Structure 1
Amino acid sequence: MRYFYYPGCSMSSSALEYDVSTKAVLGELGAEVVEVEDWTCCGASTAETVSFLLSLVLPARNLALAERMDGDGDFLVGCSACYTNHCKVGEHVKRDPRLLDKINAALSIEHLTYTGKVRVRHLLDVLANDFGPEAIAVRVKRSLSALSVAPYYGCQIVRPYGLCDDSEYPTTMDEVLAATGAEVFPYAMKVKCCGGVLMTTKKDVALRLVGGLLQAAKGADCIVTVCPLCQMNLEAYQGDVSRYMGEDLHIPVLYLPQLLGLAFDLPREKLKLERNMASPRPVLDKLA
Protein backbone atom coordinates (compact mmCIF):
# COMPACT_ATOMS: atom_id res chain seq x y z
CA MET A 1 0.00 0.00 0.00
CA ARG A 2 1.27 3.45 -0.95
CA TYR A 3 0.64 6.73 0.85
CA PHE A 4 1.49 10.35 0.13
CA TYR A 5 2.56 11.43 3.59
CA TYR A 6 1.95 14.91 4.99
CA PRO A 7 3.82 15.33 8.31
CA GLY A 8 2.72 18.92 8.91
CA CYS A 9 4.39 21.50 11.13
CA SER A 10 4.04 19.77 14.52
CA MET A 11 5.16 16.32 13.41
CA SER A 12 8.27 17.76 11.81
CA SER A 13 9.26 19.69 14.93
CA SER A 14 7.70 19.50 18.40
CA ALA A 15 6.07 16.11 17.73
CA LEU A 16 8.98 14.55 15.86
CA GLU A 17 8.57 11.36 17.90
CA TYR A 18 5.11 10.91 16.34
CA ASP A 19 6.54 11.33 12.84
CA VAL A 20 9.45 8.93 13.34
CA SER A 21 7.38 6.22 15.05
CA THR A 22 4.63 6.54 12.43
CA LYS A 23 7.05 5.88 9.59
CA ALA A 24 8.69 3.03 11.51
CA VAL A 25 5.40 1.25 12.24
CA LEU A 26 4.05 1.70 8.71
CA GLY A 27 7.34 0.40 7.34
CA GLU A 28 7.07 -2.66 9.57
CA LEU A 29 3.56 -3.24 8.22
CA GLY A 30 4.87 -3.09 4.65
CA ALA A 31 3.49 0.30 3.62
CA GLU A 32 5.26 2.54 1.14
CA VAL A 33 5.31 6.04 2.62
CA VAL A 34 6.35 8.89 0.31
CA GLU A 35 6.53 12.37 1.81
CA VAL A 36 4.75 15.09 -0.16
CA GLU A 37 7.43 17.28 -1.67
CA ASP A 38 7.48 20.99 -0.74
CA TRP A 39 4.48 20.72 1.59
CA THR A 40 3.56 23.78 3.65
CA CYS A 41 1.46 24.59 6.71
CA CYS A 42 -2.24 23.81 6.27
CA GLY A 43 -3.26 26.91 8.20
CA ALA A 44 -3.96 25.12 11.48
CA SER A 45 -6.86 26.79 13.32
CA THR A 46 -5.83 30.35 12.57
CA ALA A 47 -6.01 30.79 8.78
CA GLU A 48 -9.79 31.03 8.71
CA THR A 49 -9.69 34.03 11.06
CA VAL A 50 -7.77 35.85 8.31
CA SER A 51 -9.57 34.53 5.23
CA PHE A 52 -11.96 31.67 4.54
CA LEU A 53 -10.50 31.23 1.06
CA LEU A 54 -6.96 31.14 2.48
CA SER A 55 -8.03 28.38 4.88
CA LEU A 56 -8.97 26.28 1.84
CA VAL A 57 -6.09 27.26 -0.46
CA LEU A 58 -3.38 26.32 2.04
CA PRO A 59 -4.43 22.65 2.43
CA ALA A 60 -5.51 22.49 -1.24
CA ARG A 61 -1.93 23.33 -2.20
CA ASN A 62 -0.66 20.24 -0.36
CA LEU A 63 -3.32 18.08 -1.98
CA ALA A 64 -2.45 19.47 -5.41
CA LEU A 65 1.21 18.60 -4.80
CA ALA A 66 0.20 15.04 -3.94
CA GLU A 67 -1.99 14.80 -7.03
CA ARG A 68 0.95 15.48 -9.32
CA MET A 69 3.21 12.90 -7.66
CA ASP A 70 3.88 9.67 -9.53
CA GLY A 71 1.60 6.72 -8.95
CA ASP A 72 -1.54 6.21 -6.91
CA GLY A 73 -1.94 6.63 -3.20
CA ASP A 74 -3.98 8.20 -0.43
CA PHE A 75 -3.01 11.42 1.34
CA LEU A 76 -1.91 10.33 4.82
CA VAL A 77 -2.07 12.70 7.81
CA GLY A 78 -1.17 12.04 11.45
CA CYS A 79 -2.24 15.34 13.02
CA SER A 80 -5.98 15.52 13.67
CA ALA A 81 -6.17 19.28 13.04
CA CYS A 82 -4.31 18.86 9.73
CA TYR A 83 -6.63 15.99 8.87
CA THR A 84 -9.68 18.16 9.45
CA ASN A 85 -8.25 21.03 7.40
CA HIS A 86 -7.43 18.85 4.41
CA CYS A 87 -10.80 17.07 4.57
CA LYS A 88 -12.72 20.33 4.60
CA VAL A 89 -11.42 21.38 1.17
CA GLY A 90 -13.28 18.60 -0.57
CA GLU A 91 -16.32 18.97 1.66
CA HIS A 92 -16.69 22.70 0.93
CA VAL A 93 -16.13 22.20 -2.81
CA LYS A 94 -18.90 19.59 -2.85
CA ARG A 95 -21.29 22.08 -1.25
CA ASP A 96 -20.20 25.01 -3.41
CA PRO A 97 -18.49 23.93 -6.67
CA ARG A 98 -17.72 27.58 -7.45
CA LEU A 99 -15.01 27.43 -4.79
CA LEU A 100 -12.94 25.13 -6.97
CA ASP A 101 -12.26 27.89 -9.51
CA LYS A 102 -11.31 30.32 -6.73
CA ILE A 103 -8.95 27.82 -5.14
CA ASN A 104 -7.29 26.97 -8.45
CA ALA A 105 -6.99 30.63 -9.40
CA ALA A 106 -4.90 31.11 -6.24
CA LEU A 107 -2.87 27.96 -6.93
CA SER A 108 -2.19 28.92 -10.53
CA ILE A 109 0.68 31.19 -9.46
CA GLU A 110 2.59 27.96 -8.77
CA HIS A 111 1.11 26.15 -11.77
CA LEU A 112 -0.78 23.83 -9.45
CA THR A 113 -4.30 22.46 -9.86
CA TYR A 114 -6.47 20.83 -7.22
CA THR A 115 -9.02 18.31 -8.52
CA GLY A 116 -9.99 16.39 -5.41
CA LYS A 117 -8.89 13.01 -6.70
CA VAL A 118 -6.62 12.22 -3.74
CA ARG A 119 -8.42 10.79 -0.69
CA VAL A 120 -7.47 12.23 2.72
CA ARG A 121 -6.85 9.59 5.39
CA HIS A 122 -5.92 9.76 9.06
CA LEU A 123 -3.24 7.43 10.41
CA LEU A 124 -5.73 5.72 12.72
CA ASP A 125 -8.04 5.00 9.78
CA VAL A 126 -5.15 3.47 7.83
CA LEU A 127 -3.96 1.32 10.73
CA ALA A 128 -7.45 0.10 11.58
CA ASN A 129 -8.87 -0.41 8.09
CA ASP A 130 -6.05 -0.88 5.58
CA PHE A 131 -4.08 -3.21 7.83
CA GLY A 132 -6.45 -4.10 10.64
CA PRO A 133 -6.05 -5.84 13.99
CA GLU A 134 -5.13 -9.16 12.38
CA ALA A 135 -2.12 -7.78 10.48
CA ILE A 136 -1.03 -5.93 13.61
CA ALA A 137 -1.40 -8.99 15.85
CA VAL A 138 0.86 -11.18 13.68
CA ARG A 139 3.67 -8.62 13.99
CA VAL A 140 3.55 -8.45 17.78
CA LYS A 141 6.83 -9.69 19.20
CA ARG A 142 6.23 -8.47 22.74
CA SER A 143 2.74 -8.76 24.16
CA LEU A 144 1.42 -5.68 25.92
CA SER A 145 -0.84 -7.80 28.13
CA ALA A 146 0.69 -6.22 31.24
CA LEU A 147 -0.73 -2.82 30.27
CA SER A 148 -4.12 -1.19 30.67
CA VAL A 149 -4.33 1.49 27.99
CA ALA A 150 -6.81 4.38 27.74
CA PRO A 151 -7.49 5.26 24.06
CA TYR A 152 -7.90 8.99 23.53
CA TYR A 153 -9.28 9.89 20.11
CA GLY A 154 -9.88 13.57 20.72
CA CYS A 155 -12.60 15.46 18.95
CA GLN A 156 -11.34 16.21 15.44
CA ILE A 157 -10.90 12.77 13.89
CA VAL A 158 -14.44 11.65 14.67
CA ARG A 159 -16.20 14.91 13.78
CA PRO A 160 -17.13 16.88 11.76
CA TYR A 161 -15.82 14.70 8.89
CA GLY A 162 -14.63 11.77 10.89
CA LEU A 163 -13.55 8.19 10.50
CA CYS A 164 -15.92 5.37 9.60
CA ASP A 165 -16.73 4.97 13.26
CA ASP A 166 -19.18 6.12 15.90
CA SER A 167 -18.65 9.83 16.59
CA GLU A 168 -19.54 9.53 20.28
CA TYR A 169 -17.99 6.17 21.17
CA PRO A 170 -15.52 5.04 18.49
CA THR A 171 -13.80 1.68 18.75
CA THR A 172 -11.22 1.57 15.94
CA MET A 173 -8.30 2.45 18.23
CA ASP A 174 -9.62 0.06 20.87
CA GLU A 175 -9.42 -2.78 18.34
CA VAL A 176 -5.90 -1.84 17.27
CA LEU A 177 -4.77 -1.73 20.90
CA ALA A 178 -6.42 -5.06 21.70
CA ALA A 179 -4.43 -6.65 18.88
CA THR A 180 -1.24 -5.96 20.87
CA GLY A 181 -2.56 -7.91 23.84
CA ALA A 182 -3.14 -4.76 25.90
CA GLU A 183 -6.22 -4.37 28.08
CA VAL A 184 -8.31 -1.53 26.68
CA PHE A 185 -9.25 0.69 29.60
CA PRO A 186 -12.96 1.64 29.61
CA TYR A 187 -12.43 5.32 28.85
CA ALA A 188 -15.67 7.29 28.78
CA MET A 189 -13.85 10.55 27.90
CA LYS A 190 -12.24 9.22 24.73
CA VAL A 191 -13.75 11.86 22.39
CA LYS A 192 -14.03 14.81 24.78
CA CYS A 193 -12.07 17.94 23.80
CA CYS A 194 -8.72 18.59 25.49
CA GLY A 195 -9.18 22.34 25.08
CA GLY A 196 -6.84 22.70 22.11
CA VAL A 197 -5.23 26.14 22.03
CA LEU A 198 -7.29 27.29 25.03
CA MET A 199 -4.25 26.34 27.10
CA THR A 200 -2.66 29.57 25.82
CA THR A 201 -5.76 31.80 25.93
CA LYS A 202 -8.13 30.49 28.64
CA LYS A 203 -5.82 28.37 30.74
CA ASP A 204 -8.27 27.78 33.60
CA VAL A 205 -10.79 26.33 31.16
CA ALA A 206 -8.16 24.13 29.51
CA LEU A 207 -6.82 22.92 32.86
CA ARG A 208 -10.33 21.88 33.86
CA LEU A 209 -10.87 20.04 30.57
CA VAL A 210 -7.54 18.23 30.71
CA GLY A 211 -8.11 17.51 34.39
CA GLY A 212 -11.32 15.70 33.53
CA LEU A 213 -9.53 13.62 30.92
CA LEU A 214 -6.71 12.64 33.28
CA GLN A 215 -9.10 11.89 36.15
CA ALA A 216 -11.12 9.56 33.92
CA ALA A 217 -7.92 7.67 33.02
CA LYS A 218 -7.02 6.89 36.65
CA GLY A 219 -6.46 3.16 36.86
CA ALA A 220 -4.93 2.93 33.39
CA ASP A 221 -1.19 2.53 32.90
CA CYS A 222 -1.06 5.07 30.10
CA ILE A 223 -3.09 7.15 27.67
CA VAL A 224 -2.56 6.79 23.92
CA THR A 225 -3.19 9.65 21.48
CA VAL A 226 -3.23 10.29 17.73
CA CYS A 227 -2.84 14.09 17.68
CA PRO A 228 0.15 16.32 18.54
CA LEU A 229 -1.95 19.04 20.20
CA CYS A 230 -3.88 16.53 22.30
CA GLN A 231 -0.58 14.91 23.27
CA MET A 232 0.87 18.29 24.24
CA ASN A 233 -2.09 19.23 26.42
CA LEU A 234 -2.33 15.85 28.11
CA GLU A 235 1.33 15.44 29.01
CA ALA A 236 2.97 18.88 29.18
CA TYR A 237 0.67 20.36 31.82
CA GLN A 238 0.25 17.44 34.21
CA GLY A 239 1.92 19.37 37.05
CA ASP A 240 -0.32 22.41 36.54
CA VAL A 241 -3.39 20.22 36.17
CA SER A 242 -2.59 18.24 39.32
CA ARG A 243 -2.27 21.45 41.33
CA TYR A 244 -5.45 22.89 39.80
CA MET A 245 -7.47 19.71 40.49
CA GLY A 246 -5.93 19.07 43.91
CA GLU A 247 -4.74 15.54 43.19
CA ASP A 248 -1.86 13.75 41.52
CA LEU A 249 -2.85 13.13 37.90
CA HIS A 250 0.51 12.18 36.42
CA ILE A 251 0.35 9.37 33.86
CA PRO A 252 2.44 8.37 30.83
CA VAL A 253 1.03 9.55 27.48
CA LEU A 254 2.24 7.85 24.29
CA TYR A 255 1.42 8.21 20.64
CA LEU A 256 -0.31 5.18 19.17
CA PRO A 257 2.60 4.25 16.85
CA GLN A 258 5.01 4.49 19.79
CA LEU A 259 2.97 1.89 21.65
CA LEU A 260 2.68 -0.28 18.54
CA GLY A 261 6.44 0.05 18.11
CA LEU A 262 6.93 -1.35 21.60
CA ALA A 263 4.71 -4.31 20.71
CA PHE A 264 6.64 -4.82 17.45
CA ASP A 265 9.88 -4.59 19.46
CA LEU A 266 11.22 -1.89 17.16
CA PRO A 267 14.55 -0.22 18.02
CA ARG A 268 14.20 2.52 20.61
CA GLU A 269 15.62 5.13 18.21
CA LYS A 270 12.57 4.49 16.01
CA LEU A 271 10.21 5.39 18.85
CA LYS A 272 12.01 8.36 20.43
CA LEU A 273 10.35 7.82 23.79
CA GLU A 274 12.95 10.08 25.36
CA ARG A 275 11.13 13.04 23.76
CA ASN A 276 7.90 12.37 25.65
CA MET A 277 7.33 14.98 28.34
CA ALA A 278 5.41 12.63 30.64
CA SER A 279 7.93 9.92 31.45
CA PRO A 280 7.12 6.55 29.83
CA ARG A 281 9.26 4.77 32.45
CA PRO A 282 6.28 3.21 34.31
CA VAL A 283 5.15 1.65 31.01
CA LEU A 284 8.63 0.36 30.18
CA ASP A 285 9.04 -1.04 33.68
CA LYS A 286 5.80 -3.01 33.34
CA LEU A 287 7.00 -4.46 30.05
CA ALA A 288 10.47 -5.35 31.35
Structure 2
Amino acid sequence: MAYIYYPGCASEATGKSNHISFEAVAHALGLELAGEIPDWNCCGATLVANAIGDFAQMALACRNLALAEKKGHDIIVACSSCYLNLAWPNELMRTNPDFAAKLNEALGAANLSYSGKLKVKHVVDVLANEIGAERIKERTIKPLEGLKVACYSGCQTVRALRRPDFDDVEYPQVMGRIVEAVGAEAVDFPLAARCCGGSQQFTNPELIYDLTGKVLDSAAAAGADVIVTTCPMCAMNTDVFQEKIGKLNKKKYNMPVLFLTQLMGVAFDLKPKDLAFQYNIVSPYGKLKKYGVKK
Protein backbone atom coordinates (compact mmCIF):
# COMPACT_ATOMS: atom_id res chain seq x y z
CA MET A 1 0.00 0.00 0.00
CA ALA A 2 1.23 3.49 -0.80
CA TYR A 3 1.68 5.90 2.06
CA ILE A 4 0.17 9.36 2.20
CA TYR A 5 2.66 11.94 3.45
CA TYR A 6 2.19 14.34 6.34
CA PRO A 7 4.83 17.11 5.92
CA GLY A 8 4.14 19.16 9.07
CA CYS A 9 4.80 22.85 9.62
CA ALA A 10 8.59 22.45 9.97
CA SER A 11 8.71 21.28 6.35
CA GLU A 12 8.12 24.89 5.36
CA ALA A 13 10.68 26.35 7.78
CA THR A 14 13.36 24.80 10.02
CA GLY A 15 12.85 21.32 8.58
CA LYS A 16 12.72 22.30 4.93
CA SER A 17 15.82 20.27 4.07
CA ASN A 18 14.25 17.26 5.82
CA HIS A 19 11.16 17.61 3.64
CA ILE A 20 13.06 18.11 0.37
CA SER A 21 15.56 15.29 0.93
CA PHE A 22 12.86 12.90 2.19
CA GLU A 23 10.87 13.21 -1.01
CA ALA A 24 14.03 12.71 -3.11
CA VAL A 25 15.13 9.63 -1.16
CA ALA A 26 11.63 8.15 -1.20
CA HIS A 27 11.60 8.49 -4.98
CA ALA A 28 15.09 6.98 -5.28
CA LEU A 29 14.03 3.94 -3.25
CA GLY A 30 10.75 3.50 -5.09
CA LEU A 31 8.71 4.20 -1.97
CA GLU A 32 5.22 4.87 -3.25
CA LEU A 33 3.75 8.11 -1.94
CA ALA A 34 0.14 9.06 -2.65
CA GLY A 35 0.92 12.74 -2.29
CA GLU A 36 0.39 14.86 0.81
CA ILE A 37 -2.66 14.77 3.06
CA PRO A 38 -4.95 17.31 1.38
CA ASP A 39 -5.49 20.52 3.36
CA TRP A 40 -3.34 19.23 6.24
CA ASN A 41 -2.97 21.38 9.32
CA CYS A 42 -0.46 21.77 12.15
CA CYS A 43 -0.26 18.70 14.41
CA GLY A 44 -0.29 20.93 17.50
CA ALA A 45 3.31 20.32 18.50
CA THR A 46 5.34 22.24 21.08
CA LEU A 47 3.67 25.36 22.45
CA VAL A 48 0.29 24.94 20.77
CA ALA A 49 -0.92 22.26 23.20
CA ASN A 50 -0.12 24.50 26.16
CA ALA A 51 -2.17 27.29 24.63
CA ILE A 52 -5.29 25.35 23.60
CA GLY A 53 -5.29 22.29 25.87
CA ASP A 54 -4.48 18.63 25.33
CA PHE A 55 -7.83 17.52 23.91
CA ALA A 56 -8.05 20.40 21.45
CA GLN A 57 -4.50 19.61 20.33
CA MET A 58 -5.44 15.96 19.75
CA ALA A 59 -8.54 17.00 17.81
CA LEU A 60 -6.30 19.21 15.67
CA ALA A 61 -4.03 16.24 15.00
CA CYS A 62 -6.92 13.87 14.32
CA ARG A 63 -8.31 16.15 11.65
CA ASN A 64 -5.26 15.10 9.60
CA LEU A 65 -6.01 11.44 10.30
CA ALA A 66 -9.60 11.87 9.16
CA LEU A 67 -8.48 13.56 5.93
CA ALA A 68 -5.95 10.78 5.29
CA GLU A 69 -8.58 8.09 5.88
CA LYS A 70 -10.68 9.59 3.10
CA LYS A 71 -7.80 8.79 0.75
CA GLY A 72 -7.43 5.25 2.11
CA HIS A 73 -3.68 5.28 2.84
CA ASP A 74 -1.59 4.82 5.96
CA ILE A 75 0.46 7.86 6.93
CA ILE A 76 4.23 8.38 6.77
CA VAL A 77 5.78 11.19 8.81
CA ALA A 78 9.32 12.57 8.55
CA CYS A 79 9.21 14.88 11.60
CA SER A 80 9.59 13.35 15.07
CA SER A 81 7.26 15.83 16.81
CA CYS A 82 4.61 15.32 14.16
CA TYR A 83 4.98 11.57 14.52
CA LEU A 84 4.40 11.78 18.27
CA ASN A 85 1.41 14.08 17.89
CA LEU A 86 -0.27 11.95 15.23
CA ALA A 87 0.63 8.46 16.46
CA TRP A 88 -0.46 8.91 20.06
CA PRO A 89 -4.06 10.12 19.44
CA ASN A 90 -4.28 7.53 16.67
CA GLU A 91 -3.53 4.86 19.28
CA LEU A 92 -6.16 6.33 21.63
CA MET A 93 -8.73 6.30 18.84
CA ARG A 94 -8.05 2.60 18.42
CA THR A 95 -8.00 1.60 22.10
CA ASN A 96 -10.17 4.08 24.01
CA PRO A 97 -13.86 4.10 22.94
CA ASP A 98 -14.74 7.05 25.18
CA PHE A 99 -11.95 9.15 23.73
CA ALA A 100 -12.91 8.10 20.20
CA ALA A 101 -16.54 9.10 20.74
CA LYS A 102 -15.60 12.48 22.16
CA LEU A 103 -13.05 13.10 19.44
CA ASN A 104 -15.46 12.19 16.64
CA GLU A 105 -17.99 14.56 18.16
CA ALA A 106 -15.40 17.32 17.80
CA LEU A 107 -14.54 16.27 14.25
CA GLY A 108 -18.22 16.28 13.41
CA ALA A 109 -18.18 20.09 13.60
CA ALA A 110 -16.12 19.94 10.40
CA ASN A 111 -18.21 17.11 8.90
CA LEU A 112 -15.36 14.66 9.51
CA SER A 113 -14.98 11.39 11.38
CA TYR A 114 -12.17 8.92 11.95
CA SER A 115 -12.29 5.18 12.59
CA GLY A 116 -8.79 4.75 14.05
CA LYS A 117 -7.89 2.12 11.45
CA LEU A 118 -4.93 3.83 9.81
CA LYS A 119 -1.30 3.27 10.75
CA VAL A 120 1.01 6.20 11.40
CA LYS A 121 4.63 5.35 10.56
CA HIS A 122 7.83 7.29 11.09
CA VAL A 123 10.13 7.39 8.08
CA VAL A 124 12.93 5.66 10.05
CA ASP A 125 10.60 2.77 10.83
CA VAL A 126 9.64 2.41 7.17
CA LEU A 127 13.22 2.69 5.92
CA ALA A 128 14.67 0.19 8.38
CA ASN A 129 11.86 -2.28 8.90
CA GLU A 130 10.02 -2.27 5.57
CA ILE A 131 12.47 -1.19 2.88
CA GLY A 132 15.40 -2.71 4.76
CA ALA A 133 19.18 -2.39 4.82
CA GLU A 134 19.77 -4.61 1.77
CA ARG A 135 17.64 -2.49 -0.52
CA ILE A 136 19.33 0.66 0.79
CA LYS A 137 22.75 -0.91 0.13
CA GLU A 138 21.71 -1.81 -3.40
CA ARG A 139 20.71 1.81 -4.08
CA THR A 140 23.95 3.21 -2.64
CA ILE A 141 26.28 4.52 -5.37
CA LYS A 142 28.86 6.34 -3.25
CA PRO A 143 29.42 4.41 0.00
CA LEU A 144 30.27 6.81 2.81
CA GLU A 145 33.31 4.85 3.94
CA GLY A 146 35.28 6.49 6.73
CA LEU A 147 32.50 8.85 7.79
CA LYS A 148 31.71 8.60 11.50
CA VAL A 149 28.11 9.44 12.39
CA ALA A 150 26.39 10.16 15.70
CA CYS A 151 22.77 9.01 15.24
CA TYR A 152 20.61 11.38 17.27
CA SER A 153 17.06 10.06 17.58
CA GLY A 154 16.09 12.58 20.25
CA CYS A 155 13.48 12.03 22.92
CA GLN A 156 10.34 11.68 20.79
CA THR A 157 10.90 9.39 17.82
CA VAL A 158 11.22 6.05 19.57
CA ARG A 159 9.09 6.95 22.60
CA ALA A 160 5.89 8.03 20.85
CA LEU A 161 4.34 4.55 21.21
CA ARG A 162 7.28 2.68 22.82
CA ARG A 163 7.07 -0.08 20.22
CA PRO A 164 9.79 -2.71 20.68
CA ASP A 165 9.29 -3.78 17.06
CA PHE A 166 10.38 -0.26 16.03
CA ASP A 167 13.37 0.51 18.27
CA ASP A 168 14.76 0.47 21.81
CA VAL A 169 13.41 3.50 23.68
CA GLU A 170 16.60 4.13 25.65
CA TYR A 171 19.31 2.90 23.29
CA PRO A 172 18.04 3.40 19.73
CA GLN A 173 19.75 1.25 17.10
CA VAL A 174 17.57 1.48 14.00
CA MET A 175 18.96 4.70 12.55
CA GLY A 176 22.44 3.28 12.94
CA ARG A 177 21.50 0.32 10.73
CA ILE A 178 20.47 2.73 7.98
CA VAL A 179 23.66 4.77 8.37
CA GLU A 180 25.79 1.64 8.10
CA ALA A 181 23.79 0.45 5.08
CA VAL A 182 25.11 3.48 3.18
CA GLY A 183 28.68 2.65 4.22
CA ALA A 184 29.22 5.06 7.12
CA GLU A 185 30.09 4.14 10.69
CA ALA A 186 27.51 4.69 13.45
CA VAL A 187 29.63 5.60 16.48
CA ASP A 188 28.74 4.65 20.04
CA PHE A 189 26.57 7.60 21.11
CA PRO A 190 25.17 7.33 24.66
CA LEU A 191 22.95 10.43 24.35
CA ALA A 192 21.10 9.20 21.25
CA ALA A 193 17.71 9.45 22.96
CA ARG A 194 18.45 12.47 25.16
CA CYS A 195 16.29 15.61 24.91
CA CYS A 196 17.83 18.71 23.34
CA GLY A 197 15.46 21.01 25.24
CA GLY A 198 12.91 21.21 22.46
CA SER A 199 11.21 24.57 22.09
CA GLN A 200 12.59 25.97 25.33
CA GLN A 201 14.73 28.38 23.36
CA PHE A 202 11.78 30.76 23.55
CA THR A 203 11.50 30.76 27.35
CA ASN A 204 14.59 29.10 28.81
CA PRO A 205 17.53 29.33 26.40
CA GLU A 206 20.02 28.39 29.14
CA LEU A 207 18.36 24.97 29.31
CA ILE A 208 18.86 24.56 25.55
CA TYR A 209 22.51 25.50 25.82
CA ASP A 210 23.06 23.01 28.65
CA LEU A 211 21.19 20.01 27.19
CA THR A 212 22.27 20.55 23.60
CA GLY A 213 25.83 21.21 24.73
CA LYS A 214 25.91 17.78 26.36
CA VAL A 215 24.71 16.20 23.10
CA LEU A 216 27.42 18.00 21.12
CA ASP A 217 30.07 17.02 23.67
CA SER A 218 29.00 13.37 23.52
CA ALA A 219 29.12 13.33 19.71
CA ALA A 220 32.54 14.96 19.70
CA ALA A 221 33.86 12.54 22.35
CA ALA A 222 32.63 9.63 20.22
CA GLY A 223 34.74 10.90 17.32
CA ALA A 224 31.76 11.74 15.13
CA ASP A 225 32.28 13.74 11.95
CA VAL A 226 28.58 14.62 11.71
CA ILE A 227 25.36 14.32 13.67
CA VAL A 228 22.37 12.81 11.89
CA THR A 229 18.79 13.22 13.07
CA THR A 230 15.20 13.14 11.81
CA CYS A 231 13.85 15.71 14.28
CA PRO A 232 13.68 19.33 13.05
CA MET A 233 13.82 20.62 16.64
CA CYS A 234 16.90 18.52 17.45
CA ALA A 235 18.48 19.62 14.17
CA MET A 236 17.78 23.28 14.86
CA ASN A 237 19.12 23.27 18.42
CA THR A 238 22.30 21.36 17.60
CA ASP A 239 22.92 23.30 14.38
CA VAL A 240 21.70 26.86 14.97
CA PHE A 241 22.98 27.19 18.54
CA GLN A 242 26.25 25.31 18.04
CA GLU A 243 28.40 28.42 17.75
CA LYS A 244 26.69 30.05 20.75
CA ILE A 245 27.15 26.92 22.87
CA GLY A 246 30.77 26.67 21.77
CA LYS A 247 31.47 30.19 22.96
CA LEU A 248 29.76 29.55 26.30
CA ASN A 249 31.70 26.32 26.80
CA LYS A 250 34.94 27.71 25.34
CA LYS A 251 34.93 24.98 22.71
CA LYS A 252 34.81 24.77 18.94
CA TYR A 253 32.63 21.97 17.61
CA ASN A 254 32.36 22.38 13.80
CA MET A 255 29.90 19.48 13.79
CA PRO A 256 27.60 19.46 10.72
CA VAL A 257 24.06 18.35 11.55
CA LEU A 258 22.29 16.50 8.75
CA PHE A 259 18.89 15.01 8.37
CA LEU A 260 19.06 11.26 7.79
CA THR A 261 17.70 11.56 4.28
CA GLN A 262 20.30 14.20 3.41
CA LEU A 263 23.02 11.71 4.35
CA MET A 264 21.31 8.94 2.40
CA GLY A 265 21.00 11.27 -0.59
CA VAL A 266 24.77 11.77 -0.63
CA ALA A 267 25.29 8.00 -0.77
CA PHE A 268 22.62 7.72 -3.47
CA ASP A 269 24.48 10.39 -5.50
CA LEU A 270 21.39 12.58 -5.73
CA LYS A 271 21.54 16.08 -7.17
CA PRO A 272 22.56 18.90 -4.77
CA LYS A 273 19.17 20.58 -5.13
CA ASP A 274 17.56 17.42 -3.75
CA LEU A 275 19.68 17.50 -0.60
CA ALA A 276 19.04 21.15 0.37
CA PHE A 277 22.36 21.69 2.15
CA GLN A 278 21.93 25.43 1.64
CA TYR A 279 19.68 25.43 4.71
CA ASN A 280 22.35 23.97 7.02
CA ILE A 281 23.99 26.46 9.39
CA VAL A 282 27.21 24.54 10.13
CA SER A 283 28.61 23.86 6.66
CA PRO A 284 28.67 20.15 5.75
CA TYR A 285 30.79 20.61 2.64
CA GLY A 286 34.19 20.12 4.27
CA LYS A 287 33.24 16.81 5.90
CA LEU A 288 31.45 15.56 2.79
CA LYS A 289 33.81 16.82 0.09
CA LYS A 290 35.43 13.45 -0.52
CA TYR A 291 32.01 11.97 -1.26
CA GLY A 292 31.46 14.43 -4.09
CA VAL A 293 29.40 17.04 -2.21
CA LYS A 294 30.10 20.55 -3.54
CA LYS A 295 28.48 23.93 -3.11
TM-score band, normalised by shorter chain: over 0.9
Q: Distance in 2 between the 1:252 and 1:47 partners? A: 30
> Which residue of structure 2 aligns with residue 244 of structure 1?
248
Tell me what 1:189 maps to.
191
Per the alignment, residue 142 of structure 2 pairs with 142
Deviations 1:145-175 (A, max 9, x none): 0311111000101114145211111111110
Match in the other structure for 1:280:
284
Contact 2:141–2:267 (8 Å) recurs in 1: yes
- List structure 1 runs of 4+ shifted beyond 4 angstroms: none
Q: Could you give the per-residue CA deviations for residues 214-262 of structure 1, whole angstroms, max 9, x where no partner exists?
A: 1111121100010111100010001110011121122101000000000
The residue number in structure 1 matching 2:65 is 63
Structure-2 residue corresponding to 1:153: 153
Amino acid in the other structure paired with 1:189:
L
Structure 1 counterpart SS, 2:4: strand
Q: Which stretch has the larger CA shift, 36-45 or 92-101?
A: 92-101
> Structure 2 length normalisation: TM-score?
0.93
Matches within 5 A, 1:45-60: 45-49=46-50, 50-60=52-62
Q: Structure 1 CA distance, aligned partners of 2:48 and 2:288?
A: 40
1:234 aligns with 2:233: no
What displacement does 1:3 show? 0.7
Measured in 2, the distance between the counterparts of 1:76 and 1:264 equals: 21
What is residue 28 of structure 1 aligned with on the other side? 28
Paired amino acid for 2:206:
D
Contact 2:47 2:199 in 1 (8 A): no
- The answer for the alignment partner of 1:180 in structure 2 is 182
Alpha-carbon deviation of 1:183?
1.2
Residue aligning to 2:259? 255
1:279 partner letter = S
- Map of 1:76 onto structure 2: 76
Structure 1 unaligned spans of 5+: none
Q: Which amino acid aligns with 2:22?
A: T
Q: Structure 2: where are the runs of 5+ without partners?
A: none
Shift of 1:202: 1.2
SS at match of 1:177: helix
In structure 2, what is the Cα distance between the partners aligned to 1:161 and 1:198?
A: 23
Residue of structure 2 in register with 1:91 after alignment: 91
Q: Contact 2:94 / 2:117 at 8 angstroms: preserved in 1?
A: no
CA–CA distance in structure 1, aligned partners of residues 274 and 94 of structure 2 = 40
Residues 180-227 of structure 1: CA distance to partner in whole angstroms, max 9, x if unpaired? 110111111111111101122111111011111111111211000101
Q: Mean Cα displacement is larger for which, 99-108 or 258-267? A: 99-108
Q: Is the 8 A contact 2:87 2:160 kept in 1?
A: no
Q: Structure 1 CA distance, aligned partners of 2:125 and 2:285?
A: 29
Distance in structure 2 (CA, Å) of the matches to 1:89 and 1:159 = 14
| C-alpha separation in 2, matches of 1:47 and 1:240 | 27
| Range that drifts further, 275-284 or 15-24 | 275-284
Q: 1:269 to 1:242 in 2, by over 3 A?
A: same
For the pair 1:204 / 2:220, whether they are aligned, the reply is no
Instruction: Tell me the residue number matched to 1:2.
Output: 2
Counterpart amino acid of residue 46 in structure 2: S
Secondary structure class of the residue paired with 2:5: strand
The TM-score normalised by the length of structure 1 is 0.95
